[in-house]
């Protein structure tokens, strides 16, 4: 940041940087032929919808799962349907060694990693006075540590390659104190990863882009609970939860060459929930 107009008039060598050599046709910008995309939490919910989006755009995909091994069959299905390579990997993102090893394995199996989507997450939605320290640590280990481990180790690959693209699934609960269920730990884990993403966008400016997606309520296992559902319909300007097919385009946009001027952004997709 310049402190004066005199400072700001200093010409910096190498600037402005050149525009990227990307197609001008917008539909071509969205194609992912030959790209390699890793998605965590890919067996179901938002993660599977995103895996489908990437496969439909012709990317090769590594689908990470933790406990839900339906990911193996789903990877086979996407590979057959779209003529791409799709492989499932069992990785607990809260285990740093497993994450590091899996990232190196994917880079070896696929030859590179173009895009990494850190989507896995979990919630124990309780007030802090009812949350045990074990429950606190569990949420931190997946939502915070898990994203950080993925970012750190895929960042090493991106740095080595000289290119990369990290997309983090955060939440509108990183922006607002969601109601009516008090869930301070979950909210705070998402605020952490949102700011981590923005900070990495700057740190990695020479070789990779980083963006954050902040969904509102989507109808998945982690969508609005019975205690929250009526408030979810009332608060969302669109009067409902999102269907996962409605989030595919955003991840595809961020993963693709349509978004080459976007880094450090945090995109809310919440049916207007946080407007009031
Ligand atoms: N649905 C919503 O309303 C909403 C709103 C805002 C943000 N989000 C965020 O969106 C992301 C996806 O959630 P979802 O709604 O699609 O729910 P979901 O279907 O329950 O997905 C959560 C995923 O996280 C994975 N996961 C949990 N613990 C893990 C661990 N230790 N290691 C690796 N993977 C682990 C699960 O894998 P396995 O099933 O294989 O164990 C599961 O695939 C989460 O980060 C969530 O916080 C969701």
Q: What pLDDT is attached to residue 54?
A: 99
Report CA(46)–ligand 1 centroid distance (Å). 8
At 197, list the tokens. Answer: 């993403």
Q: Is 95 in the pocket of ligand 1 (CB under 6 A)?
A: no
Report pLDDT for 7. Answer: 86
Contact between residue 191 and residue 144 where contact means Cβ atoms under 8 Å apart: no
Which token pair is 31? 């194609």
pLDDT of residue 92: 98
Which of left, alpha, beta for 177 (phi over 0: left; psi -120 to 50: alpha)? beta
* Residue in 260, 222, 265, 263 with CA at minimum distance from that of residue 241: 222
Distance between Cα 106 and ligand 1 center (Å): 21
Residue located nearest, by CA, to atom 43 of ligand 1: 41
Instruction: Using the structure block, give the residue that is written with the tokens 């740190």.
Output: 203
164 lines ligand 1 (CB under 6 A): no
pLDDT at position 212 is 99
Tokens 């750190």: give the residue: 152
Distance 132 CA to ligand 1 centre (A): 21
* C-alpha 219: how far from chain center: 18
44 within ligand 1 shell (Cβ under 6 A): yes
For ligand 1, whether the C-beta of 167 sits within 6 Å is no
Ligand 1 site-directed mutation target among 73, 75, 98, 120, most atoms within 8 Å of CB: 120
**Tens-digit pLDDT string for the chain (276 aa):** 888 998 889 999 999 999 999 999 999 999 999 999 999 999 999 999 999 999 999 999 999 999 999 999 999 999 999 999 999 999 999 999 999 999 999 999 999 999 999 999 999 999 999 999 999 999 999 999 999 999 999 999 999 999 999 999 999 999 999 999 999 999 999 999 999 999 999 999 999 999 999 999 999 999 999 999 999 999 999 999 999 999 999 999 999 999 999 999 999 999 999 999
Helix (H, G, I), strand (E, B) or coil at 177: coil
Q: pLDDT tens-digit profile of 56-91? A: 999 999 999 999 999 999 999 999 999 999 999 999
Length of the chain as a residue count: 276
Q: What are the tokens at 138?
A: 């569990």
How far, in Å, CA of 124 to CA of 196, rounded?
A: 22
Atom of ligand 1 nearest to the CA of 66: 40
**Residue 2 CB less than 6 A away from ligand 1:** no
Catalytic residue numbers, as ranges: 171, 186, 190
Check if 223 has its Cβ closer than 6 Å to any atom of ligand 1: yes
Provide the 10 A C-beta neighbour count for residue 152: 14
Domains of the chain: 25-269 (3.40.50.720)
């Amino acid at each position: 940041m310049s402190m004066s107009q005199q400072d700001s008039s200093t010409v910096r060598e190498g600037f402005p940087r050149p525009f990227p050599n990307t197609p001008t046709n917008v539909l071509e910008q969205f194609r992912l032929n030959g790209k390699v995309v890793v998605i965590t939490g890919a067996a179901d919910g938002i993660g599977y919808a995103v895996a489908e989006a990437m496969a439909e755009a012709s990317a090769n995909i590594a689908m990470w799962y933790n406990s839900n091994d339906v990911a193996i069959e789903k990877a086979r299905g996407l590979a057959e349907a779209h003529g791409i390579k799709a492989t499932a990997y069992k990785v607990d993102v809260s285990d740093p060694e497993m994450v590091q090893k899996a990232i190196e394995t994917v880079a070896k199996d696929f030859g590179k990693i173009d895009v990494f989507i850190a989507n896995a997450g979990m919630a124990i939605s309780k007030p802090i006075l009812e949350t045990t320290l074990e429950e606190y640590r569990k949420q931190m280990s997946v939502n915070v540590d898990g994203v950080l481990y993925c970012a750190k180790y895929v960042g090493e690959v991106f740095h080595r390659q000289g290119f990369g693209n990290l997309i983090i699934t955060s939440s509108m609960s990183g922006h607002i104190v969601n109601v009516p269920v008090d869930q301070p730990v979950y909210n705070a884990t998402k605020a952490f990863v949102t700011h981590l993403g923005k900070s990495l966008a700057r740190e990695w400016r020479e070789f990779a882009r980083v963006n954050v997606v902040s969904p509102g309520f989507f109808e998945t296992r982690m969508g609005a609970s019975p205690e929250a559902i009526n408030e979810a319909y009332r608060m969302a300007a669109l009067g409902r939860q999102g269907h996962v097919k409605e989030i595919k385009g955003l991840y595809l946009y961020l993963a693709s060459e349509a978004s080459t001027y976007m880094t450090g952004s945090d995109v809310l997709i919440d049916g207007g929930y946080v407007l009031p």
